[in-house]
Amino acid sequence: DAKTTQPTSMDCAEGRAANLPCNHSTISGNEYVYWYRQIHSQGPQYIIHGLKNNETNEMASLIITEDRKSSTLILPHATLRDTAVYYCIVRIIQGAQKLVFGQGTRLTINP
Amino acid sequence: GAVVSQHPSRVICKSGTSVKIECRSLDFQATTMFWYRQFPKQSLMLMATSNEGSKATYEQGVEKDKFLINHASLTLSTLTVTSAHPEDSSFYICSATPIQGALETQYFGPGTRLLVL
Protein backbone atom coordinates (compact mmCIF):
# COMPACT_ATOMS: atom_id res chain seq x y z
CA ASP A 1 0.00 0.00 0.00
CA ALA A 2 1.14 3.51 -0.79
CA LYS A 3 2.74 5.61 1.90
CA THR A 4 0.89 8.68 3.14
CA THR A 5 2.19 11.83 4.78
CA GLN A 6 0.13 13.85 7.21
CA PRO A 7 0.94 16.71 9.57
CA THR A 8 1.59 15.51 13.09
CA SER A 9 -0.92 17.82 14.71
CA MET A 10 -3.44 20.56 13.94
CA ASP A 11 -5.70 22.86 15.89
CA CYS A 12 -9.07 24.22 14.89
CA ALA A 13 -11.63 26.44 16.58
CA GLU A 14 -14.98 24.96 17.45
CA GLY A 15 -17.58 25.73 14.79
CA ARG A 16 -15.02 26.32 12.07
CA ALA A 17 -14.18 23.98 9.23
CA ALA A 18 -11.28 21.63 9.88
CA ASN A 19 -9.23 20.83 6.79
CA LEU A 20 -6.86 17.89 7.17
CA PRO A 21 -4.36 17.36 4.35
CA CYS A 22 -2.80 14.11 3.23
CA ASN A 23 -0.09 13.51 0.64
CA HIS A 24 -0.01 10.20 -1.22
CA SER A 25 2.23 10.96 -4.19
CA THR A 26 2.93 7.30 -4.98
CA ILE A 27 -0.72 6.24 -5.13
CA SER A 28 -1.54 3.88 -7.97
CA GLY A 29 -4.60 3.80 -10.18
CA ASN A 30 -6.43 1.08 -8.28
CA GLU A 31 -5.87 2.48 -4.81
CA TYR A 32 -8.55 4.27 -2.85
CA VAL A 33 -8.09 6.95 -0.22
CA TYR A 34 -9.63 6.11 3.16
CA TRP A 35 -10.01 8.24 6.24
CA TYR A 36 -10.49 6.88 9.74
CA ARG A 37 -10.32 8.62 13.08
CA GLN A 38 -9.56 7.38 16.57
CA ILE A 39 -10.90 9.12 19.62
CA HIS A 40 -8.80 8.53 22.71
CA SER A 41 -8.95 4.93 24.01
CA GLN A 42 -11.49 3.85 21.40
CA GLY A 43 -11.31 1.80 18.21
CA PRO A 44 -10.92 3.63 14.89
CA GLN A 45 -14.07 4.93 13.23
CA TYR A 46 -14.58 4.90 9.48
CA ILE A 47 -15.21 8.36 8.06
CA ILE A 48 -15.15 8.31 4.28
CA HIS A 49 -13.32 6.97 1.26
CA GLY A 50 -12.95 7.81 -2.42
CA LEU A 51 -11.13 6.96 -5.64
CA LYS A 52 -10.93 10.15 -7.70
CA ASN A 53 -14.19 12.02 -7.32
CA ASN A 54 -14.95 14.22 -4.38
CA GLU A 55 -17.14 12.51 -1.81
CA THR A 56 -19.45 13.77 0.91
CA ASN A 57 -21.37 12.04 3.65
CA GLU A 58 -22.95 13.03 6.94
CA MET A 59 -19.60 13.18 8.67
CA ALA A 60 -17.25 14.85 6.24
CA SER A 61 -16.20 15.72 2.72
CA LEU A 62 -13.23 14.29 0.88
CA ILE A 63 -11.51 16.36 -1.78
CA ILE A 64 -9.04 14.49 -3.99
CA THR A 65 -6.78 16.42 -6.34
CA GLU A 66 -7.01 15.72 -10.06
CA ASP A 67 -3.63 13.98 -10.09
CA ARG A 68 -4.70 12.01 -6.97
CA LYS A 69 -1.42 12.74 -5.25
CA SER A 70 -3.06 14.46 -2.33
CA SER A 71 -6.40 14.82 -0.61
CA THR A 72 -8.11 16.87 2.07
CA LEU A 73 -10.63 15.73 4.62
CA ILE A 74 -13.04 18.49 5.57
CA LEU A 75 -15.08 18.54 8.77
CA PRO A 76 -17.43 21.42 7.94
CA HIS A 77 -18.38 22.52 11.46
CA ALA A 78 -15.96 21.04 13.93
CA THR A 79 -17.14 20.28 17.46
CA LEU A 80 -15.19 19.37 20.57
CA ARG A 81 -16.13 15.73 19.97
CA ASP A 82 -14.16 15.78 16.73
CA THR A 83 -10.92 15.92 18.71
CA ALA A 84 -9.14 12.73 17.63
CA VAL A 85 -6.28 11.27 15.62
CA TYR A 86 -7.19 11.21 11.93
CA TYR A 87 -5.63 8.58 9.69
CA CYS A 88 -5.36 8.82 5.91
CA ILE A 89 -4.81 5.41 4.33
CA VAL A 90 -4.54 4.32 0.72
CA ARG A 91 -5.23 0.77 -0.33
CA ILE A 92 -6.67 -1.32 -3.10
CA ILE A 93 -10.22 -2.55 -2.77
CA GLN A 94 -9.49 -6.19 -3.55
CA GLY A 95 -6.83 -8.40 -2.05
CA ALA A 96 -5.96 -8.74 1.60
CA GLN A 97 -7.98 -5.66 2.53
CA LYS A 98 -5.68 -4.96 5.41
CA LEU A 99 -5.26 -1.37 6.51
CA VAL A 100 -1.79 -0.02 7.22
CA PHE A 101 -1.97 2.87 9.67
CA GLY A 102 0.57 5.68 9.67
CA GLN A 103 1.00 8.13 12.54
CA GLY A 104 -2.01 10.24 11.56
CA THR A 105 -2.83 13.83 12.47
CA ARG A 106 -3.80 14.69 16.01
CA LEU A 107 -6.62 17.22 15.59
CA THR A 108 -7.54 19.32 18.59
CA ILE A 109 -10.74 21.34 18.50
CA ASN A 110 -10.54 24.32 20.80
CA PRO A 111 -13.55 26.03 22.41
CA GLY B 1 -25.52 -1.14 11.58
CA ALA B 2 -21.99 -2.54 11.23
CA VAL B 3 -21.26 -2.89 14.92
CA VAL B 4 -18.25 -4.80 16.21
CA SER B 5 -17.92 -5.66 19.88
CA GLN B 6 -15.00 -6.85 21.96
CA HIS B 7 -14.95 -8.62 25.28
CA PRO B 8 -13.58 -7.89 27.76
CA SER B 9 -13.07 -4.17 27.45
CA ARG B 10 -10.19 -4.33 29.89
CA VAL B 11 -8.36 -7.09 31.69
CA ILE B 12 -5.62 -7.31 34.28
CA CYS B 13 -3.77 -10.57 34.64
CA LYS B 14 -0.67 -11.99 36.28
CA SER B 15 2.44 -12.70 34.30
CA GLY B 16 2.43 -16.21 32.86
CA THR B 17 -1.33 -16.56 32.51
CA SER B 18 -3.28 -16.66 29.26
CA VAL B 19 -5.93 -14.17 28.25
CA LYS B 20 -8.65 -14.63 25.65
CA ILE B 21 -10.18 -11.66 23.84
CA GLU B 22 -13.35 -12.04 21.81
CA CYS B 23 -14.31 -10.04 18.73
CA ARG B 24 -17.87 -10.24 17.44
CA SER B 25 -19.62 -8.70 14.49
CA LEU B 26 -23.09 -8.06 15.88
CA ASP B 27 -25.18 -7.29 12.81
CA PHE B 28 -23.20 -8.65 9.89
CA GLN B 29 -21.17 -11.64 8.86
CA ALA B 30 -17.47 -11.38 8.25
CA THR B 31 -15.24 -13.97 6.64
CA THR B 32 -12.21 -11.88 7.50
CA MET B 33 -11.34 -10.17 10.76
CA PHE B 34 -8.16 -8.35 11.66
CA TRP B 35 -6.30 -7.99 14.94
CA TYR B 36 -4.26 -4.90 15.75
CA ARG B 37 -2.13 -3.85 18.72
CA GLN B 38 -1.54 -0.31 19.82
CA PHE B 39 1.04 0.84 22.36
CA PRO B 40 0.66 4.22 24.11
CA LYS B 41 1.13 7.21 21.84
CA GLN B 42 1.70 4.96 18.86
CA SER B 43 -0.33 4.01 15.83
CA LEU B 44 -2.15 0.73 15.26
CA MET B 45 -0.01 -2.19 14.16
CA LEU B 46 -1.59 -5.08 12.33
CA MET B 47 -0.87 -8.39 14.04
CA ALA B 48 -2.79 -10.90 11.96
CA THR B 49 -5.58 -11.54 9.52
CA SER B 50 -8.17 -14.01 10.73
CA ASN B 51 -10.09 -16.03 8.17
CA GLU B 52 -13.17 -18.06 9.04
CA GLY B 53 -12.47 -21.78 8.81
CA SER B 54 -8.77 -21.47 8.10
CA LYS B 55 -5.50 -20.57 9.78
CA ALA B 56 -4.73 -16.95 10.50
CA THR B 57 -2.09 -15.07 8.57
CA TYR B 58 0.41 -13.36 10.87
CA GLU B 59 2.43 -10.24 10.14
CA GLN B 60 6.18 -10.43 10.23
CA GLY B 61 7.51 -10.44 13.77
CA VAL B 62 4.27 -11.61 15.40
CA GLU B 63 4.62 -14.99 17.11
CA LYS B 64 1.77 -17.25 16.07
CA ASP B 65 2.31 -19.59 19.03
CA LYS B 66 2.01 -16.72 21.45
CA PHE B 67 -0.98 -15.00 19.88
CA LEU B 68 -3.44 -17.75 19.07
CA ILE B 69 -6.27 -16.78 16.76
CA ASN B 70 -9.43 -18.79 16.23
CA HIS B 71 -12.12 -17.73 13.76
CA ALA B 72 -14.78 -20.35 14.41
CA SER B 73 -17.77 -18.63 12.85
CA LEU B 74 -18.69 -15.77 10.55
CA THR B 75 -19.33 -13.52 13.55
CA LEU B 76 -16.65 -14.47 16.06
CA SER B 77 -12.87 -14.37 16.20
CA THR B 78 -10.82 -14.85 19.35
CA LEU B 79 -7.29 -13.81 20.20
CA THR B 80 -5.55 -15.64 23.04
CA VAL B 81 -2.40 -14.13 24.47
CA THR B 82 -0.58 -17.14 25.90
CA SER B 83 1.83 -16.88 28.82
CA ALA B 84 1.36 -13.14 28.95
CA HIS B 85 4.21 -10.93 30.13
CA PRO B 86 4.29 -7.24 31.04
CA GLU B 87 5.58 -6.33 27.58
CA ASP B 88 2.31 -7.72 26.15
CA SER B 89 0.40 -4.98 27.94
CA SER B 90 -1.28 -3.04 25.17
CA PHE B 91 -4.54 -1.99 23.55
CA TYR B 92 -5.81 -4.79 21.32
CA ILE B 93 -8.31 -3.87 18.60
CA CYS B 94 -10.15 -6.05 16.11
CA SER B 95 -11.90 -5.12 12.88
CA ALA B 96 -14.17 -6.89 10.44
CA THR B 97 -15.31 -6.45 6.87
CA PRO B 98 -18.86 -7.44 5.91
CA ILE B 99 -19.21 -10.19 3.33
CA GLN B 100 -22.24 -8.39 1.92
CA GLY B 101 -22.88 -4.75 1.33
CA ALA B 102 -20.00 -2.38 2.09
CA LEU B 103 -17.29 -4.85 1.14
CA GLU B 104 -14.65 -2.17 1.08
CA THR B 105 -15.08 -0.88 4.61
CA GLN B 106 -13.59 -2.23 7.82
CA TYR B 107 -15.42 -1.68 11.06
CA PHE B 108 -13.49 -1.64 14.30
CA GLY B 109 -14.29 -2.85 17.77
CA PRO B 110 -13.90 -0.62 20.83
CA GLY B 111 -10.66 -2.28 21.86
CA THR B 112 -9.47 -4.34 24.82
CA ARG B 113 -6.92 -2.91 27.20
CA LEU B 114 -4.64 -5.59 28.59
CA LEU B 115 -2.43 -5.00 31.60
CA VAL B 116 -0.06 -7.77 32.60
CA LEU B 117 1.40 -7.45 36.09
Interface contact B103, partner A, CB < 8 A: yes
Query: pLDDT of B22-57, one tens digit each?
Result: 999 998 888 889 999 999 989 999 999 998 888 899
Residue-wise DSSP of chain B: ---EEEE-SEEEE-TT--EEEEEEESSS--SEEEEEEE-TTS--EEEEEEETTS--EEPTT--TTTEEEEEEETTEEEEEE-S--GGG-EEEEEEEE-SSS-TT--EE---EEEEE-
Contact between B107 and A46 using a beta-carbon 8 Å cutoff: yes
A111 reaches B (C-beta below 8 A): no
Q: Which of A46, A98, A103 sits opposite B49 (nearest CB)?
A: A98
Q: By three-state DSSP, how is residue A81 classified? A: helix
A35 close contact with B: CB closer than 8 A: no
Q: How far is A4 from chain B (nearest CA, A)?
A: 14
Whole-number Å distance between alpha carbons of A90 and A27: 7
pLDDT classification of A100: cutoffs 50, 70, 90: confident
Asked whether the beta carbons of residue B111 and residue A42 sit closer than 8 angstroms, the reply is yes
How much is the average pLDDT of A85-98?
A: 81
Measure the CA–CA gap between A16 and A41, rounded to whole angstroms: 25
Contacts of A100 in chain B (CB under 8 A): 46
Residues of A in contact with B91 (CB under 8 A): 41
Across the interface, whether the CB atoms of B111 and A46 are under 8 A apart is answered no
pLDDT at A13: 97
Q: From A37, A97, A62, select the one nearest B34 (Cα to Cα).
A: A97
Task: Give the tens place of pLDDT for each residue, A44-56.
Answer: 999 999 999 899 9
Q: What is the pLDDT of residues B48-89, one digit of tens each?
A: 999 888 889 999 999 999 999 998 899 999 999 999 999 999
Q: Answer yes or no: do A49 and B104 touch at CB < 8 A.
A: yes
* pLDDT of the residue at B100: 65
**Interface with chain B: mutation pick from A4, A31, A46, highest number of B CBs within 10 Å:** A46
